Chains A and B, each alone.
Chain A
């Protein structure tokens, strides 16, 4: 099998890896904000429910969650299962929304009360205080933990293999099984490294952009 042919086959897996990465990111970033607001809600039952949910998701392996979403509906409720790709996306979105929500919550709660109070005594609306005063400070504080989490996501996509979704590592494994070639498996590392390297660059750019203020 030629180098080019291996690349082509791996690229096919990499497409799935990228799809899973971007779908998770695009859905989990806003969904995490909703979960964060629930976890900070003044309405106790909602807050407790939300924090319980966060505890469960953070306290169990993502691999298990993927399997539960895929096999669960069929085995437990006799429902039609989700297609493999959808199941893995659902599990990833939930898992990452929860992790992001904790980062958001930490960021929002770390803003000193004085910032809200200063906005209030200047007659700003609550929404103005959030969007014009607090938000950018929160963003600045959460960029480093978010970039960590997002880089972890790149590598976590390989877990999709447990329900036979054809992502990058699965593609390499298929080459082992069909051609007996082992090097493509190690070679997948190059894809991950380049992907993560690009993300690291983007995040350090963002951090630089926000360097003009402190706080």
Chain B
């Protein structure tokens, strides 16, 4: 069964239509790469799916639940909105870590705040907070930063900050994790450590959607590739189909730019 279904998504900024009837679906545990030239709408698509932007038309279904339906008149309650929000996680290009918190606290903060809504919180505050901290430390270990729990973001390299932000997203147990060019703000020698973390997640069958300009990585890690061009899905398929025998001429043009 598809864990993500996007149907007829449209989004305009002013009179410019940036997403033109986008539909696709993704199976649970699969990795999808989104490629395409600058301005083709990749970020906008991610932002619509993660509710940072409101699409003008279409529906988004995550794990069988409609998290967005443009034809729905009534706005969700704040509680409902937050519940649906947590179905998806997002890793930003620019990390967006919280500067005043340590690496560990960055990871656990949202979970701690959410725990306050748990009716059990009053009675077993200590245990709940301890469990969250343990989870945070386990996630730090998973991204290879056990020794950086008490470091503040400014004390970390870009690659380390991005790994913390991945752990932060994972701490809320998203059904699907989205990445918007997770390595493009990094020095080339630091991209490897991020790609390794993503690869490990893929081995654990984390469902992921990755916007990337790293073609060799996209080919390695993904099960599916979507090529976006001027707001439409111009080509989609398995990585071999997309990279080895591209039929779409725009796609060929796009890929040629990476082969020199």
Contact = CB atoms under 8 A, between A and B. Distances in A.
B9 interface: no
16 contacts: A112-B96, A114-B94, A115-B96, A118-B96, A121-B51, A122-B109, A123-B86, A123-B110, A125-B78, A133-B109, A136-B100, A137-B99, A140-B100, A213-B152, A214-B152, A215-B99
B217 interface: no
Interface string A100-119: 00000000000010110111
B113 A121 contact: no
5 tightest A-B CB contacts, nearest first = A215-B99, A122-B110, A114-B96, A118-B96, A214-B154
Interface in B83-110: 83, 85-86, 88-90, 92, 94, 96-101, 109-110
A121 B94 contact: no
B153 interface: yes
Contact of B90 (A115, A121, A137): A121
A115 B98 contact: yes
A137 B85 CA distance: 25
Contact of A121 (B52, B78, B100): B52
A215 to B, nearest CB: 3
B168 A122 contact: yes
A117 to B, nearest CB: 5
B153 A215 contact: yes
A131 B64 CA distance: 34
B152 A120 contact: no
Given A121-B88, A121-B90, A137 B100 contact: yes
Contacts of B194: none
A212 interface: yes
Interface of A: 112, 114-115, 117-126, 128, 132-133, 136-137, 140, 212-215
Contacts of B52: 117, 120-121
Contacts, number: 70
B162 to A, nearest CB: 13
B114 interface: yes
A215 B113 contact: no
Interface in B49-82: 50-52, 78, 82
Q: Which of B86, B92, B94, B110 has the most CB of A within 10 A?
A: B110
B85 A120 contact: yes
A121 B89 contact: yes
Nearest to A140: B100
Contacts of B109: 122, 132-133
Given A124-B110, A128-B113, A133 B90 contact: no
B220 to A, nearest CB: 27
B172 A123 contact: yes
B186 to A, nearest CB: 16
Nearest to A131: B113
B51 A120 contact: yes
B85 A123 contact: yes
A135 B169 CA distance: 22
A192 B94 CA distance: 47
A11 B189 CA distance: 66
A112 B169 CA distance: 19
A123 B79 CA distance: 9
Contact of A215 (B90, B92, B100): B100
Contacts of A112: 96
Contacts of B86: 123
B46 to A, nearest CB: 11
Nearest to B110: A122
A123 B82 contact: yes
A213 B113 CA distance: 21
Interface string B24-68: 000000000000000000000000001110000000000000000
A169 B61 CA distance: 71
A136 B114 CA distance: 20
A173 to B, nearest CB: 48
